[in-house]
Chains A and B, each alone.
Chain A
Amino acid sequence: MPISNNAFVRATTLLLLVGLVALLGIVGTTIWLVERSQGYFNEVVVARETRSAATDLRNALGDAETGQRGFLLTGNEAYLAPYNSAVEQLPELRERVGAVLAPYPQLQEPLAELNAAIQYKLDEMARTIELTRSGDRDTALAIVNSGAGNDSMQNTREFLISLVDSSETRLDIGVADQRSAATALRWVTLLGALVIVGVVGGSAWTVRAYTRELAAARREVEAANQSLEERVQERTADLGKANEEIQRFAYIVTHDLRAPLVNIMGFTSELETSVATLRDYMSEREESGDPKFAEARLAATEDLPEAISFIRSSTRKMDALINAILKISREGRRQLKPETINLAEIINASVSAIQHQVTENGGSVETEVKVARLITDRLSLEQVLGNLLDNAVKYQEPNRPLTVSIRALPAERNRLNIEVTDNGRGIASTDHERVFELFRRSGSQSQPGEGIGLAHVRTMVRSLGGEITLSSELGVGTTFRINLPRDLRSYLGSNAK
């Protein structure tokens, strides 16, 4: 299943959210459980305090009673020591019990009763001791015997025992609660940990799947790129082959056309010689009045020479065309030799070739070369420049001095522009493309030519990896712009040959 970018973002966000919720849950539950545990602990502390207060009170009362009984039996003051210390502690112990029970309103009444019972017992004990000291031991024993003090003592004891029991129960419950809270905490932590592990695992899986998906996609893109490059190379090679085939075709065709043409021209020439002889002979003959002779003489002196002259001019034209095709096809078959070239040198050499013709008519040529060197085929470049400059001279406006400027400027992507500008007769805008076609010429056909120069130039510029364009205004001038790579080798290299 391909994971789209959106799905991936949604999934990871969801997982992160779940992880966050789990973490928050753990933290919240932990805080809550710790809080509760604290509460249980406080309760346990209170229960323990209650138990100890109750026990201490009971023990103190027991001590007091023991001391009192001992004294009553023996009359010896020494037995009163436990009583005295107990009585001394008692207020504090009673206060402790009171404090422990203070939060429970329902226990206030029993507490009051307890206090009353304790007070009663203490009073009774104090009276009996007083009576014994004063010698009235019998009255004291009678009081003890009455059992009232014993009853109150019994009540007190029972109350305190029940208080201890309840405290103990509460202690047990508190401990159990605390244990269950700890257990709950453990479970919650475990569960949370499981959820987090799950979330982390899920995220890791998602990220891994996504990364894999990305890697696969990247591989695909790379493969597509590779095959695209291969296809481009194949196409380029195909084009190169097709081009080569066309060149070969042109070469073969022109060669095969030449052979019959040589015959036509050769025998025309032979015929011409024969006709010349015939014409000389016929024109020397006297008019005989024979109409057939007159016809034959007309044929020999006018018709035949005229026919031959037409055949001649046609074959000459055909010869020129075949030569043109041959020249271009030969140029296309020529192996280019990239070498480092001093552009200014080449331009100056081309200029000096036409300098004489230009200055003859008061014209001038200026050059501006801002590119020192380039690597290209010297011969092709020389021919291109020579052709353009020849054209500038050939098609100059007769009534103004010719000015030609050649500028070489660097262009982007490691290329350069060479501009050849003249103030010649210009090219009509409808012919801007046409002039580059083979055997096509523009404007008045006042100059001799076959219409191959610019076609040749374009072929050469293209084989150098460049392009030639023109901008021109009729009657004002023309600018040819050649865009060339600075290094022909990079072009030839990319053009799998």
Chain B
Amino acid sequence: MNSGTPVTIVMIEDDEGHARLIEKNIRRAGVSNQIVPFTDGTSALNYLMGDDGSGQVSSGRQLLILLDLNLPDMTGVDILEKVKNNEHTRRSPVVVLTTTDDQREIQRCYDLGANVYITKPVDYDGFANAIRQLGLFFSVIQVPEAD
């Protein structure tokens, strides 16, 4: 990835199995960036927005957010909305990676500013393949530094 501050991948995924599989496959693609995993929305928002919720903590960070929509305490859409409405985090790319393939949901995510929307393939080979390609994508993507 780009030079300077290394990009941190924030993975918000409540299924730990999925999280592990995602991580494994990203690593297989040769991406060695730090991955910060969260299994619920509250702690993820805490990390992104800080204790005061201003998002000040993220300034200076280079973040790439991997987001699942089905979370135990809130929907990923809420997080997406908050991230894209915060001046500090809005430039961070958000990749929505979820099982939902409902057209309206997909549209809504893009409307809210999601950068990529990927439906998790059901078969593992497809899944692993998609994640690996996502890893390749991460390795070439330019992530801006949050203000």
| Chain A residues within 8 Å of B, Cβ to Cβ | 255, 258-263, 265-270, 319, 322-323
Task: Say which residue of A255, A266, A322 sits within 8 Å of B127 (CB atoms).
Answer: A266
Q: A383 CB to closest chain B CB, in angstroms?
A: 19
Q: How does the 8 Å CB contact mask read for B42-74 relative to A, with 1 for contact and 0 for none?
A: 000000000000000000000000000010000
B120 within 8 A of A: yes
Q: B46 CB to closest chain A CB, in angstroms?
A: 24
Q: B130 CB to closest chain A CB, in angstroms?
A: 11
Which residues on B sit within 8 Å (CB–CB) of A258?
99, 120, 122
B21 touches A263 (CB 8 A): yes
Which residues on A sit within 8 Å (CB–CB) of B122?
258, 261-262, 319, 322-323
Which residues on B sit within 8 Å (CB–CB) of A259?
15, 18, 70, 99
B123 within 8 A of A: yes
| Chain B residues within 8 Å of A, Cβ to Cβ | 15, 17-18, 21, 24, 70, 99-100, 120, 122-125, 127-128
Which residues on B sit within 8 Å (CB–CB) of A269?
124-125, 128
The 9 residue pairs across chains A and B that have the minimum distance between CB atoms: A263-B17, A265-B124, A266-B21, A266-B124, A269-B124, A258-B99, A255-B99, A259-B15, A258-B122
Alpha-carbon separation in the docked complex, A260 to B24 (Å)? 17
A266 touches B99 (CB 8 A): no
Alpha-carbon separation in the docked complex, A258 to B123 (Å)? 9
A262 touches B127 (CB 8 A): yes
Task: Say which residue of A255, A263, A323 sits within 8 Å of B18 (CB atoms).
Answer: A263
Alpha-carbon separation in the docked complex, A269 to B17 (Å)? 13
Task: Say which residue of A255, A260, A262 sits within 8 Å of B21 (CB atoms).
Answer: A262
Q: A313 CB to closest chain B CB, in angstroms?
A: 13
Interface of A is mostly: helix
Alpha-carbon separation in the docked complex, A267 to B22 (Å)? 11
Q: A257 CB to closest chain B CB, in angstroms?
A: 10
Which residues on B sit within 8 Å (CB–CB) of A261?
122
Q: A253 CB to closest chain B CB, in angstroms?
A: 12
Which residues on A sit within 8 Å (CB–CB) of B125?
269
A262 touches B18 (CB 8 A): yes
Alpha-carbon separation in the docked complex, A263 to B123 (Å)? 10
Instruction: Show 9 residue pairs from A and B whose CB-CB distance is below 8 angstroms, ordered by the A residue.
Output: A260-B15, A262-B17, A262-B122, A262-B124, A265-B123, A266-B124, A268-B124, A269-B125, A270-B24
Which residues on A sit within 8 Å (CB–CB) of B100?
255
Alpha-carbon separation in the docked complex, A260 to B127 (Å)? 13
Alpha-carbon separation in the docked complex, A213 to B21 (Å)? 80
Are A319 and B123 CB-contacts (below 8 A) given A262-B21, A263-B21, A267-B21?
Answer: yes
- CB nearest neighbor in B for A270: B24
Q: A95 CB to closest chain B CB, in angstroms?
A: 132
Which residues on A sit within 8 Å (CB–CB) of B21?
262-263, 266-267, 270
Instruction: Give the interface centre of A261, A266, A268, A323 by most chain B CB atoms within 10 Å.
Output: A266
Alpha-carbon separation in the docked complex, A258 to B70 (Å)? 13
Q: A260 CB to closest chain B CB, in angstroms?
A: 8
Which residues on A sit within 8 Å (CB–CB) of B15?
259-260, 263
